[in-house]
Amino acid sequence: MTISPCPAQPAFVAPVGDRWPDLPRVPRGVRAVAGRPVVMALFGHAVRRLALRVELPEGRLLGGSAHHPQAPRLILHDPDAFAARIAATGLIGFGEAYMAGDWSAPDPAAVLTVLAAQIDRLVPVPLQALRSLVLPRRPARTRAGRDGARSNAAHHYDLSNDFFALFLDETMTYSSALFEVLEPAPVWAELAGAQARKIDRLLDSAAVGPGSSVLEIGTGWGELAIRAARRGATVRSITLSAEQQQLARRRVTEAGLADRVSIELLDYRDIDGHYDAVVSVEMIEAVGYDYLPGYLTTLERALAPSGRIALQVITMPHDRMRATRRTHTWIQKYIFPGGFLPSEELLAQLLSTHTGLEIVDRLSLGQHYAHTLRLWDARFTAAADRVGALGFDEVFRRMWRLYLAYSEAGFRSGYLDTWQMVLRHRGTRGAPTGAAVSR
């Protein structure tokens, strides 16, 4: 363990209240107290192999790049609280430590990218086997049945349309964009066009055009439905978010397309009818592991015989998915209750076992998502005062910044990916899809 002097860092103290019941008190249970020195030992062992500069109180330094001031900086303001939270609840504690101000970083995404790239090696393999015994289990209330799905959607998407408008572009599109080029790094002025390019590729892949009947599962704020209707399609879009439905309907009306687009508050399990195209962008992540077979059979049932399904799906590695599918995570506790990221392998298995659908085209957008999130994070950070004026306190702002940085790091490191996938009934032929398989 390398220890060197560095300037002392002032402690950050975040205001906490009834909204954040697990933050005011540092865990003091047996697991937290006994595990604290173990966590710090494991942390010190892990970071000395990483390209990080970890700054501790009283001028100490850790990390494989401790003497390189330009390396990503992780600043530990309260190592004891940091370690106790992690000992008590694992990565939930790591996130809560950031929310409470136990640690900070000038560039959280850079720090988290380094950590995400080595996620399988941060904890020794023998200790990884104890995951199911020591980490919290997912609360039953967040299971994405009918009631749970509506509650989960409201937790995230009904925060405030004005809030999301502060960091999204004018298309109000909350999913990965598809940039024309990634070098040099895309800038904000390119984002709206890249979102349109992403949507148009999905619509092209599903052969959406004049006279097409389109089912959209997960409305967002209506941009895809609007673009499909402008092609001459008739669109039925469903959502579980009352806030999104309200704004999406208004945007559709302002676009003069209310006669072509209907937006309903409806669970995907209640879909009826057959459609030439079924399109769903980053909604499958809210379905939950146990409900995925039913979701995929719903897609199959809704698709006309010669139709196409165009999905945009966030995925994670199969082994990590299997290891974490039953545990409770920081993202699930604070950002997406009930959320679950499938693997490509799982989707292929379930499609083969439960449906007559096949994947005929796919395109990776993982690095495009990293840049999308980078632009959102910069916009969100610049709008901090306006976020506060909407009633979101400092703890919330730190939480949201960590969420955006955490997500960017997942894609930038390659730990997460996003795929546009095109499906059809097995054995059918028809209109060409968007592009060849690509990474």
Confidence at 130, pLDDT banded by 50, 70, 90: low
In this model, does residue 132 exceed pLDDT 60?
Answer: no
Mean pLDDT value of segment 161-171: 98
pLDDT (0 to 100) of residue 19: 80
* Model pLDDT, residue 261: 98
Whole-number Å distance between alpha carbons of 177 and 294: 28
Residue 343 scores a pLDDT above 50: yes
- For the chain, percent of residues with pLDDT exceeding 90: 84
Q: Mean per-residue pLDDT for 137-149?
A: 90
Instruction: Spell 372-386 as b/e; 16+ CB within 10 A means b.
Output: bbbbbbebbeebeee
pLDDT tens digits, one per residue of 186-243: 999 999 999 999 999 999 999 999 999 999 999 999 999 999 999 999 999 999 999 9
Distance CA 290, CA 42 (A): 34
Q: Please state, in angstroms and rounded to a whole number, the distance separating the CA atoms of residues 365 and 310.
A: 14
Instruction: Give φ, ψ of 130 to 5 degrees.
Output: -90, 5
pLDDT recorded at residue 124: 59
Model confidence over 22-53: pLDDT tens digits? 999 999 999 999 999 999 999 999 999 999 99
Instruction: Domains for the chain: give ranges and CATH numbers.
Output: 30-134 (no CATH), 142-425 (3.40.50.150)
Q: What is the CA radius of gyration of the chain?
A: 22
pLDDT digits (tens, 9 = 90+) for 281-302: 999 999 999 999 999 999 999 9
Chain-wide mean pLDDT for the chain? Answer: 91
With vertex at residue 323, the alpha carbon angle to CA 417 and CA 26, rounded to the nearest 5 degrees, is 95
Q: Measured between alpha carbons, how far is 437 from 439 in angstroms, rounded to an integer?
A: 7
Query: CA–CA separation, 283 vs 278, rounded Å?
Result: 12
Mean pLDDT, rounded, for 144-164? 95
